[in-house]
Amino acid sequence: MKPVIGITMGDAAGIGPEIIVKSLATASIYERIRPIVIGDAKQLQKAIELTQTKMTIKPVTQVSEAEFQFGNIDSIDLDLLPVNLPFGEISPQAGAAAFLYIKKAVELAKKREIDAICTAPLNKEALHKGGYLYPGHTEILAELTDTVDYSMMLSAPKLKVIHLTTHVGLKKAIESITPERTYTVIKLAHETLQAAGYRRARIGVCGINPHAGENGLFGEGEEEKQLIPGIKKAQLEGIDVTGPLPADTLFFRAARGDFDIVVACYHDQGHAPVKVLGLEEGVNITVGLKGGIIRTSVDHGTAFDIAGKNIADERSMLAALTAAADLAPVTRNYD
């Protein structure tokens, strides 16, 4: 059986509708998944006209009505947006709608009506202007699922990265790193890769400071106080984890194949290498959500500068859909 993947439209003023339509116009993706879009049908229709793809929208009110046939896009139409919503502009309505698409997807996942969630990008400014003050998708999903211990994982063709901290300033990020958080994220990485079929995941942990502190030469002993106790605890449980290591050489070694995943200490430390190595095929995965809910996403933003121009690249969305298929347990068959 192919898993049912709920695709949320994200910010409908961005490239989300376009990359969704282009992805679902790829016949081979239907060999892996049964997709259903959660969003606004009229924005999907505008994207079909923009891309000149031979697709039709099939509005449904519940997942059991979907037919999952190539050429017809099954869509739960929440009908939240005006017909004249322009592409490429900040819209509080689109920001609020992006949140409500996610909320609906989580409800469906909790009821096991969909097997995984795949998200198109949202715009944080629009989200906030729409009344939802979250840093991003990951934090929304964590709150909607009552999850405390979670992390953002990025996957590119040659590199996987999981984060100790993400959407906070650098000073706060460093202050937020504790031995307990270090241990928790290492364990999440280990369990996630085990579930994906790795017999013994090799994990490397980045240092906080340049050269991982170089025995106290840089920083104020953050590695010794905040990272090493968590690493040692994981090692005592038999987890194959090494570190802290200098970030510059660790990412090189991981891309070479020495490690299966890297634990990054803060947002840019982990994001920059992944995007250099595979922006078009990068996937963002939320790890540790309660109920075993799987969420994958494109690893790029709403790209307002190119929205509505039919030049957006759908490869990251296709990679995210494939990753969702790989990770999702099939829980229900609608055939």
Burial classification of residue 3, based on how many CB atoms lie within 10 Å of its CB (0-12 exposed, 13-18 middle, 19 or more buried)? buried
User: In terms of residue numbers, what domain contains 335?
Assistant: 1-147+292-335
What pLDDT tens digit does each residue of the chain (335 aa) get?
799 999 999 999 999 999 999 999 999 999 999 999 999 999 999 999 999 999 999 999 999 999 999 999 999 999 999 999 999 999 999 999 999 999 999 999 999 999 999 999 999 999 999 999 998 898 999 999 999 988 889 988 889 999 999 889 999 999 999 999 999 999 999 988 887 778 889 999 999 999 998 888 899 999 999 999 999 999 999 999 999 999 999 999 999 999 999 999 999 999 999 888 876 677 889 988 998 898 999 978 999 999 999 999 999 999 999 999 888 765 554 44
Q: What is the pLDDT of residue 331?
A: 56
321 and 271 fall within a common domain:
no
Which long-range contacts link 25-32 to residues 24+ away (Cβ below 8 Å)?
Answer: 25/51, 25/53, 25/54, 25/55, 26/314, 26/318, 27/70, 29/318, 29/321, 29/322, 30/68, 30/70, 31/2, 32/2, 32/321, 32/322, 32/325
Q: What is the pLDDT of residue 330?
A: 59
316 and 229 fall within a common domain:
no
Sequence-distant (6+) residues with CB within 8 A of 238 are none
79 and 182 fall within a common domain:
no
172 and 234 fall within a common domain:
yes
143 and 153 fall within a common domain:
no
Q: What is the CATH number of the domain that holds 201?
A: 3.40.718.10
- Which amino acid is residue 302, in one-letter code? T
204 and 108 fall within a common domain:
no
Q: What is the pLDDT of residue 227?
A: 98
140 and 160 fall within a common domain:
no
- How distant, in Å, are the alpha carbons of 113, 141, 214, 228, 237 from that of 183? 33, 22, 22, 9, 11
203 and 335 fall within a common domain:
no
> How many independent structural domains does the chain possess?
2
Q: What is the pLDDT of residue 279?
A: 62
